[in-house]
Amino acid sequence: MLKIYAPADLVISGASGGGNLAAAVPLKMRDLGIPLPAAIGLFTPEVDLTESGDTFRTNEDIDVVLRRGLPVLNALYANGADLAHPYLSPLFGDFTKGWAPTFIQTGTRDVFLSIWAELHVGEAMPHGGFGGAPEDLEIRQEFLRFLAAHAGWAAP
């Protein structure tokens, strides 16, 4: 892609497991000396495959989408590798070496809430959002504003 587009023209984003990849890929890019994208969007991301954060316990009975996290799937995905490796669990990455501006969205009832960054938290929102409700449209507008500020995209 970098043969066609400048890094300032690229954004990596994903939701849930895709949010894991959207956080892990830039870590690997950075470590390989590949320029980072202009911005990163993480929507209810699973950035801790160890599922060690407190919300994996405190929200397990109130997240109406993911009741108990995904430990079996995480183990299958890792295929025996250390679940705490930053390319599998970006939460444990070293962000002091540089990182693109990042937009993170989650909900107060999301089992994946245990993350640190600029955070957008939707009251009573389960994993994945509200299925197209006005709150989902509002967060999309916030992400577009974020992209305009950090990736040079046109404001919404």
Domain boundaries along the sequence of the chain: 7-150
Helical (H) or strand (E) element with 11: strand 11-15
Adjacent-strand bridge partners of 120: 105
Residue 156 binned pLDDT confidence (cut-offs 50, 70, 90): low
Q: Tell me the C-alpha distance between 61 and 119, whole Å.
A: 22
Q: Tell me the C-alpha distance between 145 and 19, whole Å.
A: 19
Q: Is 96 exposed, middle or buried (0-12, 13-18, 19+ CB in 10 A)?
A: exposed
Q: Which of 115, 55, 48 is nearest to 84 (CA)?
A: 48
How much is the mean pLDDT over the chain? 89
Rounded to two decimals, what is the model's pTM? 0.76
Q: For the domain made up of 7-150, give the CATH fold.
A: Rossmann fold (3.40.50)
Q: Tell me the C-alpha distance between 37 and 46, whole Å.
A: 20
Instruction: Tell me the per-residue pLDDT of 111-131, one tens digit each, with 9 for 90 and over.
Output: 887 764 557 788 888 888 888
